[in-house]
Structure 1
Amino acid sequence: MDAAVQQLFDRQGGVATSGQILAVTSRYEFEAVIKRTAVERIWHGVYCLGEPTDELRLRGLDLSCGTTVAVCLGTAAALHGFDTEQPGDLHVLNPHGHQLRPVDGLVVHRRDGAPLVSAADRWATAPAWTAVEVARGLRRPRALATLDAALRSGTVSRGRLWRAAIEQAGRRGIVAVRDLLPLADPRAESPMESEARLAMIDGGLPLPELQFEVIDGNGELRRLDFAWPDHRVAVEYDGLDWHSDTEAMRADRRRQAALMDVGWVVIPIVFDDVRHRAWDFVARIDQQLRHARAA
């Protein structure tokens, strides 16, 4: 690549407009660079050097608008560290005095009165506002996952979430979010664990302890995803790679046996149980709890 073009991108954090590029090199060299895929077009008249990450796409918008563009919804959630949905689109606020147009990969919003904070050198809707706004647009299980993740990130408190819910009163989905706020728990370690917990609650099970610690029969400290300590019943959520090989299966059986040695019954659940057979795994837990009470 032409040294002047390289310096231009380096100086501007990996982005440049076509006009800036053509000011330091010929159109022939510009087209040659694009053909070699060293430079990619990210917006109309704006290019980036290398893989077009969300950060580079945002810098490209900044360059195009001549100001730092504020983000909201899932893009702000990712910036604050609690995005659970990983949307492909960037969600931004229309800068004052500009008229950004929505295009593929870009959704432009107006959020008059939304509180903004500075995060990673960019303005974004405040964490609590963002969490509530994202949750309003999701199914109940995913909404709870967002609220759990927001609390776990340490960027919000339950009180701030409540205040944000009050500020967004009357907006679509806010009643469901308010109903979920008392259930939100920062101890949930994954979105699917949040979904599983909501299925248990909706199924009438007593609230489990999350990430409960116990010493197993091998003398090792174990953390159980969901536990009812009085009954020594636990549930563990296993991801999609569960039992992906023989050694993993053997290790899991050893762990199960070590917990049985100290009187614990562990019920494993997987993605399909949570999404497609919730009534079945909830019934299994309920049966085991009833059995433990009767013992």
Structure 2
Amino acid sequence: MNAAVTALLDRTGGIATTAQLLTVMTRQQLDVQVRRGGLVRVWYGVYSRAMPDLVGRLAALDVFMGQWAVASMGTAAALYGFDTENTAAIHVLDPGIRLRSTVGLVVHQRIGAPVQWVAGRPATSPAWTAVEVARQLNRPRALATLDAALHSQWCTPGNLDQAVIAQRGRRGIRAVRDLLPFADARSESAMESEARLVMIDHGLPAPELQYTISAPGGQRWRVDFAWPEARIAAEYESIEWHAGRAEMLRDKARFAGVQELGWTVIPIVADDVRRRPARLAERIAIHLARAA
């Protein structure tokens, strides 16, 4: 890539339009750079050195539209830090100009959606976003979104209540309203939320979340779920968590320490939650009954 193109991209924040690029290179040179990977087309007529991150893709869309793109749905959730669904496409509100959904872009008609600024750009408000995302999902993932929204500290239970009222009558809103009493900011992962919903749906006693167990020597271990009176703990174990030897050894030492204090630790994996929820609930219930 020639120095003039590099200088142009430096001046424009790494994003340039076709018209800007054609002031320092020919159309043929532009096409060659795109084929070779020296430039990436982010949106039609908008280019960058490499595919930018989420904020960069939104900034490129601003350039394409000639105005601010208002992030919504999973894109807004990602800006606030509670996108549990790993949203890949860019979701924005209809800007009122001719903008259509295409590969990697979803345009939403969301009249009345409140907007605020986050990460230096406009997005639908946190609670509105959480409720709107949740009502598109099944119950376990919806609870995970509500938990994550509260955990992010961008919204409160009261904010979520108000957003549910504001979206009254829309598809899926009743299921979200029914889940609100169970949403908990202490949940630290989507699978923890899904596991907790299994416990709720099967009528198990509500566990303490992120409970700290202290040993006489001063050591402290935290568990995902705990029934302290029964000295029962449950831990969600993911493949990612045990991806390294050090993590596995640390986890085993923690379990051993908890068990030495007379606690029973119940391991939970994804298949327990999603394929055998009744059996998972039964296992927990049996341990609680034995402790009683």
TM-score class, shorter: over 0.9
Q: Contact 1:217–1:259 at 8 Å: present in 2 too?
A: no
Identity over aligned pairs, percent: 52
SS at match of 1:263: coil
Which residue in 2 is equivalent to 1:71? Answer: 71
Structure 1 residues 32 and 155, CA, compared in 2 at 3 Å: closer, same or farther? same
Mapping 1:180-219, distance limit 5 Å: 180-216=179-215, 219=218
Q: Say how many residue pairs are matched.
A: 292
Structure 1 residues 140-169: Cα deviation after superposition (integer angstroms, max 9, x where no partner) = 000000000000001001001000000000
Q: CA deviation at 1:257?
A: 2.6
CA contact 1:217–1:262 (8 Å) conserved in 2: no
Asked if the contact 1:48/1:56 (under 8 Å) is kept, the reply is no
Paired with 2:244 and 2:81, the residues of 1 have a C-alpha distance of 32
Cα deviation for residue 217 of structure 1 reads 6.9
Tell me the equivalent position of 1:100: 99
Q: Distance in 1 between matches of 2:158 and 2:205?
A: 25
Matching residue of 1:8: 8
User: Per the alignment, in what secondary structure is the counterpart of residue 268 of structure 1?
Assistant: strand
Question: What is the Cα deviation at residue 251 of structure 1?
Answer: 4.6
* Deviation at residue 259 of structure 1 after TM alignment: 1.4
The verdict on how the C-alpha distance between 1:43 and 1:251 changes in structure 2, with shifts beyond 3 A counting, is closer
Residue 154 (structure 2) aligns with: 155
Per the alignment, residue 47 of structure 2 pairs with: 47
For residues 274-293 of structure 1, what are the structure 2 equivalents within 5 Å?
Answer: 274-293=273-292
**2 CA distance for matches of 1:118 and 1:249?**
41
What CA distance in whole angstroms lies between the structure 2 residues aligned with 1:73 and 1:250?
39
TM-score, L = length of structure 2: 0.94
Residue 257 of structure 1 aligns with an amino acid whose one-letter code is A
Deviation string, structure 1 residues 163-185 (Cα, Å, up to 9, x no partner): 00000000011111011111000
List alignment gaps of at least 5 residues for structure 2. Answer: none
Report SS of the residue matched to 1:57: helix
Partner of 1:86: 86
Aligned-residue offset at 1:27:
2.6
C-alpha contact 2:42 2:51 (8 A) present in aligned 1: no
CA contact (8 A) 1:94 1:110 kept: yes
Tell me how far apart the structure 2 counterparts of residues 243 and 109 of structure 1 sit (CA, whole Å).
39
Which SS does the other structure have where 2:238 is aligned?
Answer: coil
Alignment correspondent of 2:177: 178
Q: Contact 1:40–1:52 (CA<8 Å) still a contact in 2?
A: no
CA distance in 2, matches of 1:129, 1:267: 36
Please tell me the residue identity of whatever aligns with 2:148: A
Cα separation, 2, equivalents of 1:161 and 1:243:
34
Measured at CA, do residues 29 and 68 of structure 1 come closer, stay the same or move farther in structure 2, by a change above 3 Å? same
Give 1:58 deviation, angstroms: 1.4
Residues 248-289 of structure 1, C-alpha deviations (whole Å, 9 max, x = no match): 655544333321221111101111111111111211110000
CA–CA separation in structure 1 for the residues paired with 2:4 and 2:216 = 66
In 2, the alpha carbon distance for the partners of 1:124 and 1:244 equals 35
Quickly say closer, same or farther: Cα 1:243–1:114, change in 2 above 3 A.
Answer: closer
Counterpart position of 1:125: 124
Deviations 1:172-216 (A, max 9, x none): 111110111110001000000000000111111011000011124
Cα contact 2:16–2:47 (8 A) shared by 1: yes
Distance of 2:204 and 2:26 partners within structure 1? 69
Unaligned runs of 5+ in 1: none
Q: Would the aligned equivalents of 2:210 and 2:225 in 1 still touch at CA under 8 Å? A: yes
Amino acid at match of 1:163: Q
Worse overlay, 271-280 or 203-212: 271-280
Q: Secondary structure at the match of 2:225?
A: strand
Alpha-carbon separation, structure 2, partners of 1:93 and 1:24? 34
Whichever residue aligns with residue 228 of structure 1, its letter is: W
Change (3 A) 1:167 1:258: same
RMSD: 1.7
Task: Tell whether the 8 Å contact from 1:93 to 1:109 is kept in structure 2 after alignment.
Answer: yes
